[in-house]
Amino acid sequence: MSPTEDPATAVFARRVLDAYRRTPGTTGHIRPADRRLARDLHARGVSVQTVDDAFLLASVRRFARPLPSRPPATVRSLAYFLPLVEELLATPIEDGYRRYLTSVLQRTISRPR
């Protein structure tokens, strides 16, 4: 955290970047541009839940496909998820659907390839 950074922004950025690191299919590496984008999302008033939902939805869309498919390319930037953040700002997902997506992702990630 820089001396002038708001503590709430730092907490938001840390939570988003930690979740990004854990998202299946990402490199797990945080770049300076990712840190800036996380701070920008906080400045725009985007919630951590919305960003988490974007990670979840993207993961399901990327991995829940027929077995013969090749694995998707590795995501190398938090910016990859921006279109989904925008989509979810316009149409948030409900708790029940979030639970469903989580179960789909868990089954997909755990199935043998």
pLDDT tens digit at each of 113 positions of the chain: 555 679 999 999 999 999 999 999 999 899 999 999 999 999 999 999 999 999 999 999 998 877 666 778 899 999 999 999 999 999 999 999 999 999 999 998 887 65
Which pLDDT belongs to residue 66? Answer: 73
Which pLDDT belongs to residue 69? Answer: 66
Which pLDDT belongs to residue 5? Answer: 74
- Which is nearest to 79 in space by CA: 35, 47, 48, 110? 35
Which pLDDT belongs to residue 53? Answer: 98
Q: Which two tokens stand for residue 22?
A: 């854990």
The values of phi and psi at residue 75, to 5°, are -80, 130
Which pLDDT belongs to residue 70? Answer: 75
The helix (run of H) or strand (run of E) holding residue 37 is helix 32-43
Classified as helix, coil or strand, 27 is coil
Which pLDDT belongs to residue 1? Answer: 52
